[in-house]
Chain A
Amino acid sequence: MNLLPFFQWCEATTLGTAIRETTWAFAVIESVHLLALCVIGGAVLVVDLRLLGLGLRRQRVQDLARDAQPWLNYSLAVMLLTGTGLFLSEPTKCYYSTPFWFKMTSLALAITFSYTIRRRVVHADEGRISPGLSSLVGVVSLALWFGVGAGGRWIGFSG
């Protein structure tokens, strides 16, 4: 399946053109994208570190996860919204960018993992999840989100 025509169509959209042709737009949207990165980083790290037996060890995983979940949801929504804006401003560049595809693959995996396996593990009753499984889930989550972040930063250095 050739996605290039779709990417070119994206590039011609009113929104994409507006962001591309306004001096400040990309920088401002990118800044909001970065601010949401901090929030998503905090919300993910607090729980993942706990899964690894680090950080807030005296609290139960499910309590931390319940408190962090809304912030993960909010920041992810802001990330997807601003990310779409950034993408629309330069889709053809993204199409030929390896880091872009790496990031999108990592993102799809990270979201799927976070809202299925990780969600079940972190909300499970205490004692039902072995320390080994907890650590594994924490490591996989951190690795996937790191892939998203690193891939995202590298889009800017490529092409």
Chain B
Amino acid sequence: MMTLLPFVKWLAETRGSIALHESLYMYPVIESVHVLTLCLFVGMSTMLDLRLLGLTLRRVPLTDITNRLFPWMFVGFGVMVVTGVLLFYAIPIRSYQSIWFRMKVVLLICAGLNAWIFHATIYRSVRDWDVSRTVPPRARLAGVLSLVFWTGIIVFGRMIAYNWFDCDRPEPALIVTVAGCTADQQAGR
């Protein structure tokens, strides 16, 4: 099985990673920016999803929302990615072996695919339903899926902070497999 363990172990030895990990203020500041940018990115994306479901901004043409709010969402997403990468860089091995982190990455890919499929298919005909209050079922489905994926991403992201399933403690076989714990770690070496 492919493993990135040697890579993250190397990453953890780099000066930047150690400096970030040991910093008194940098880590909390990056973490705070990561969390507060949720308001900008997921907040805006939630308003768009709710619009697709006909639950808010019903009289606003969908293209107004996409044209005017996407730039803000892109900025928010960029900040989340940069701060997220830095948070991973500060604690590479533990993050890599976190089942929460792994499930979060899977859901991030799902959310990306959902957004891509939405734009590549049903959104192409947006002119036909731009101002209507009820949008095609496929667009509504994209809104629901987006809400579900982002809920999962946020919950799993928050859970990374907890050590319930860390590899340095004895874990059941399922967790060992999903987290990619090594035999050495499980033996307490």
Contacts and interface: CB of A to CB of B under 8 A. Distances in A.
B36 interface: yes
A149 interface: yes
Contact of B38 (A34, A55, A154): A34
B155 interface: yes
Contacts of B69: 46, 55-56
Contacts of A59: 59-60, 64
Contacts of A55: 68-69, 72
Most B CB atoms within 10 A — which of A42, A71, A146?
A: A42
B87 to A, nearest CB: 13
B56 A71 contact: yes
Nearest to A33: B158
Contacts of A58: 64, 68
A37 B38 contact: yes
Contact of A39 (B35, B46, B57): B46
Contact of A31 (B40, B50, B64, B158): B158
A57 B57 contact: no
Interface in A35-54: 35, 37-46, 49, 54
B44 A42 contact: yes
Interface residues of B, number: 34
Contact of A146 (B31, B36, B68, B161): B36
Given A56-B60, A59-B64, A31 B154 contact: yes
A64 B57 contact: yes
Nearest to A56: B68
A31, A41, A57 — most chain B CB neighbours (10 Å): A41
B14 interface: no
Contacts of B72: 45, 49, 54-55
Interface string B120-154: 00000000000000000000000000000011001
B156 to A, nearest CB: 9
A48 to B, nearest CB: 11
B21 interface: no
Interface residues of A, number: 35
A132 B89 CA distance: 43
Contacts of A64: 57, 60
A38 B154 contact: yes
A64 B47 CA distance: 11
Interface string A135-159: 0000000000010011001100100
Interface string A61-85: 0011001101100000000000000
**In the complex, the 7 A-B pairs of residues with the closest C-beta atoms, listed nearest first:** A41-B39, A42-B43, A41-B43, A38-B42, A42-B47, A31-B155, A157-B28
Interface of A: 23, 27, 30-31, 34-35, 37-46, 49, 54-59, 63-64, 67-68, 70-71, 146, 149-150, 153-154, 157
18 contacts: A23-B164, A31-B155, A31-B159, A35-B151, A37-B39, A38-B42, A41-B42, A42-B46, A44-B39, A44-B43, A46-B57, A56-B57, A71-B47, A71-B56, A149-B39, A150-B36, A153-B28, A154-B28
Given A43-B43, A59-B64, 9 more contacts: A31-B158, A35-B154, A37-B39, A45-B44, A46-B69, A64-B57, A67-B60, A150-B36, A157-B28
